[in-house]
Each structure stands twice: as structure tokens, then as C-alpha cells.
Chain A
Amino acid sequence: AQKVTQAQTEISVVEKEDVTLDCVYETRDTTYYLFWYKQPPSGELVFLIRRNSFDEQNEISGRYSWNFQKSTSSFNFTITASQVVDSAVYFCALTLYNQGGKLIFGQGTELSVKP
């Protein structure tokens, strides 16, 4: 069965700390995509990044970076020098080649960044 696990339910950090959100996925398929979305209190899911299963290059975008490791089925997300505006729920998700656009979401990690 396909599954996404975000073991950290809640994380609280102080502004300027670095924080890593973990994401572990399960699938027997070899062709898939992984995504990260941010959900601020307003409720709208905001797309952050997607990565296909054949591209294990890490990515950095400003203070955000992502580490994809197929060997451990993980796609972790790091925020460097966190800011209060980073406070939100973050979701990791998976799509599979034979299931179209169906996003399989993890349970989410609620990040609270305190000033």
C-alpha cells in the first residue's frame, strides 16, 4: 500500500533556528512524484516543491531546502533561519504513475515559530 508518514505532529522553534520536517513514504512503484505544501491558518494549500522519483538532486530555494533520498524513502524539508511567517502546517504528498493526479498526503506537521 502507498503511504506518506510525517512522524512529527508539532514542532516549536524560536525564530532564527533551523528546523527540519521529516517525510517518509512507502510505495512499490518506481515512478512517482513527491510534493511539499504549506497550509497557513487561512486554509489554502500553497505549493512549495515537487520532485520526481528519478531526480535525487537536493534543492535549495532561499531559506528552504529539500533532501530526497530514495535509499531511505525520505523527502525531508529544512527551513534555515526560521521566521514567524513560516508558522503553518506543512504537508508532504505522493502521486503515483498509475493513479493520475491523486495526491496521497501525510498527516502534516504543524510548525510554530516563536519570536
Chain B
Amino acid sequence: KAGVTQTPRYLIKTRGQQVTLSCSPISGHRSVSWYQQTPGQGLQFLFEYFSETQRNKGNFPGRFSGRQFSNSRSEMNVSTLELGDSALYLCASSAGTGGYQETQYFGPGTRLLVL
């Protein structure tokens, strides 16, 4: 079974631009979560989706948004990019409804550099 896939793997943008990252979960998985990883803040939860609905949201500004499609694929968008948005963005999927007991399987991440 293929793992979680994320596209693109690398991205360079300039301040003020917007970016869209894509995530395809493991086949049959219905919940998708997004995390941001930076050297200073570590791994931080962005949001979680199940059945096209945002179930949970982390403490990030409104410039960060996401959505999930009917096939469970997910996208996240960052508008008006800032230098501090440079990070590795990781997507994870789980088999159930996104409960606390579920194991999340991660993709390889999208490395975003904002210049």
C-alpha cells in the first residue's frame, strides 16, 4: 500500500505570495492532519480534517487554511507568506475518524522556503 504522498516536495516563494500544498493520504484513510516543523518551534499542529470537515485547529493565524476533498485528499494554503513561514510542512493520515487513539502516518513533507 502506498504511503502518504505530498506535493511538491520543495518550494521557494517570496514574501507576500501565497502557496498551496497537497497531500494524498494512504488509501482507505479518511483523516488528514497537517503539522509545521521549524528549528525554533519544533513540530506544531496546524489542523485536522475528516469527511471534508475541519475537526481541530492549532494556534496559527488565519493566513493558514486548509480543506479536504471527498476522496480524502487535502490541501493547505498559506496566504501573504512571511519569512517565518519557512518550514517543513508534514501531512499525516489515519484510518478512522481522527480520534486521539489513532496512529498517524506521515508523508515526506514539503519544504517551503520563503525569501
Question: CB within 8 Å of B: which residues of A?
Answer: 31-33, 35, 37, 42-47, 50, 52, 91, 93, 95-108
Contacts and interface: CB of A to CB of B under 8 A. Distances in A.
B101 A103 contact: no
B35 A43 contact: no
A92 B49 CA distance: 23
Contact of A97 (B90, B100, B107, B111): B100
A2 B107 CA distance: 25
A103 B109 contact: no
Interface of B is mostly: strand
Contact of B43 (A46, A47, A91, A101): A91
B24 to A, nearest CB: 14
B107 A101 contact: no
24 contacts: A31-B100, A32-B100, A35-B103, A42-B108, A43-B90, A43-B111, A45-B92, A47-B103, A47-B104, A47-B106, A50-B101, A50-B103, A95-B100, A95-B101, A99-B56, A100-B55, A101-B102, A102-B48, A102-B56, A102-B100, A103-B33, A103-B43, A105-B44, A108-B43
Given A44-B109, A103-B92, 6 more contacts: A31-B100, A47-B103, A100-B56, A101-B99, A102-B56, A103-B35
Interface residues of B, number: 28
A93 B100 CA distance: 11
B101 A52 contact: yes
